[in-house]
């Protein structure tokens, strides 16, 4: 007899689902019994993810959205509720990395990074918290970064957005603790994702840059999306029922 998964019967909405940490988490959560509302701006890769989940016997729906658009957020949240009648877990994972020192950044870059990395979490949380309140509880997990705890060079904007996520997480955890809503954030170090590989290739010296990223990790390797997904699974599962307001470091020792 198959043992029920850690998320059996749960409905999970994940943003940034089509690649990297979001994809790994979507697949893992589905294997653990959750139905997955997969939200991403890339419809083709998101459809491939959902097809893979379904081919393994899981339940998922691909929802296309600009996570910084209030109208898009309201639409996909309502689509998920219409499909499954409830949402139990919100994983605010969508994000982008913008490099550079402050004097090199365009205002448009600043606004876009905050819109995707921070505003999206506000929009999805604002839309879903009332659902949690009506249901009697729920779980929110936000993807922050070790950069919220330990800054690195040429990441002023990225660090600012992830610092905001860190503080937002703790504020929400306190505000909703009495409503049976847990809120935590993940603080990954450098993770080997398609986004990282694309950024390294754009620099023109990908192998040298990769060595530099590895060198700043005390464990002397990059993390994997699957490792981050396992941490996410713990934090959204009932096994972490006494955990809220936590910034879970999973960074290879980078923040030491």
Does residue 234 have an active-site annotation? no
Outline where DSSP puts E strands in 123-180: 138-143
E strand or H helix that includes residue 171: helix 156-176
* Beta strands at 247-250 and 181-188: parallel, antiparallel or unpaired: parallel
Burial bucket for residue 203 (CB in 10 Å: 0-12, 13-18, 19+): exposed
Catalytic residue among 91, 132, 158, 176: 158
Torsional sign, CA 66, 70, 71, 77: positive
Torsional sign, CA 100, 148, 19, 37: negative
The separation between CA 24 and the C-alpha centre of its own chain, rounded to angstroms, equals: 11
Residue 37 DSSP SS3: strand
Question: For residue 97, what are the CA distances in angstroms to 83, 84, 109, 160, 195?
Answer: 32, 33, 10, 11, 8
With contact defined as beta carbons under 8 Å apart, do 220 and 251 qualify?
A: no
With contact defined as beta carbons under 8 Å apart, do 215 and 222 qualify?
A: no
Q: Using CA atoms, how far apart are residues 92 and 122, in angstroms rounded to an integer?
A: 9
Residue 85 DSSP SS3: coil
Task: Catalogue the active-site residues.
Answer: 158
């Amino acid at each position: 007899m198959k043992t029920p998964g850690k998320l059996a019967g749960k409905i999970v909405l994940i943003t940034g689902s089509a690649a990297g940490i979001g994809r790994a988490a979507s697949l893992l959560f589905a294997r653990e019994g959750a139905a997955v509302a997969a939200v991403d701006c890339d419809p083709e890769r998101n459809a491939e993810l959902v097809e893979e989940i379904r081919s393994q016997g899981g339940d998922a729906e691909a929802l296309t959205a600009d996570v910084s658009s209030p109208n898009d957020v309201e639409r996909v949240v309502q689509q998920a509720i219409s499909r499954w009648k409830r949402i139990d877990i919100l994983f605010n994972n969508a994000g982008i990395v913008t490099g550079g020192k402050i004097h090199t950044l365009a205002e448009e870059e600043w606004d876009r990074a905050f819109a995707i990395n921070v505003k999206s979490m506000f929009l999805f949380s604002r839309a879903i918290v009332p659902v949690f309140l009506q249901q009697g509880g729920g779980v929110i997990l936000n993807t922050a970064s070790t950069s919220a705890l330990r800054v690195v060079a040429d990441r002023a904007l990225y660090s600012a957005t992830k610092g905001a996520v860190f503080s937002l997480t703790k504020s929400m955890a306190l505000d909703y603790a009495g409503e049976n809503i847990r809120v935590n954030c993940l603080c990954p170090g450098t993770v080997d994702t398609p986004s990282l590989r694309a950024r390294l290739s754009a620099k023109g010296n990908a192998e040298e840059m990769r060595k530099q990223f590895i060198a700043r990790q005390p464990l002397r390797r990059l993390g994997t999306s699957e490792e981050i997904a396992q941490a996410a699974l713990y934090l959204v599962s009932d096994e972490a029922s006494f955990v809220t307001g936590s910034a879970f470091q999973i960074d290879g020792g980078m923040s030491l």
